[in-house]
Amino acid sequence: MAFGAPKTSTNLIRTDTGRPRGTQQEIACQCWCTSSGAITPLMIKLQDEDGVLRIIRDIAVHSVEKQRYAGVPSITYDCTLEYDGRSIRAWLVFYQTEGRWVLCVR
């Protein structure tokens, strides 16, 4: 006899993981949505310290995880971004209820 709810992916989403790690920056993200509802980031746009709009098209997604940050459902993408000859390891976080994206650099 088992006690409690079985450990399914749905139950794991319900736990609150606090705040995202790293420095957060608001971004615009172009995505591909499949017929099954999976979202894949294709390109991001962000503003640098000088106010210049930067575009990053080379995004390698390593893993995707559904989480809750402060009770807000989100999808976190562990990625490597290629920009200006450098590889940047980062998280792209999509806040589903707010419909907004943030970039968290490690």
Determine contact, residues 78/60, Cβ cutoff 8 Å. Answer: no
* Structure confidence at residue 95 (pLDDT): 93
What's the pLDDT tens digit per position in 23-77? 889 999 999 999 998 999 999 999 988 999 999 999 999 999 999 888 889 999 9
Alpha-carbon distance of 13 to 65, in angstroms, equals 9
Q: How confident is the model at residue 5 (pLDDT cuts 50, 70, 90)?
A: very low
Q: What is residue 36's predicted lDDT score, i.e. its pLDDT? A: 93
Say which DSSP state 93 is in. Answer: E
> Which of residues 12 and 63 earns the better pLDDT score?
63
Sheet containing 58-69, strands listed edge to edge, beginning at the edge strand earlier in sequence: 53-56, 39-47, 23-33, 100-105, 86-95, 72-83, 58-69
Say how far apart CA 19 and CA 23 lie, in whole Å.
11
Distances (CA, A) of 52 to 18, 49, 81: 31, 7, 18
Could you tell me the pLDDT band of residue 101, with boundaries at 50, 70 and 90?
very high
What is the average per-residue pLDDT within 12-24?
60
For the whole prediction, is pTM greater than 0.85? no
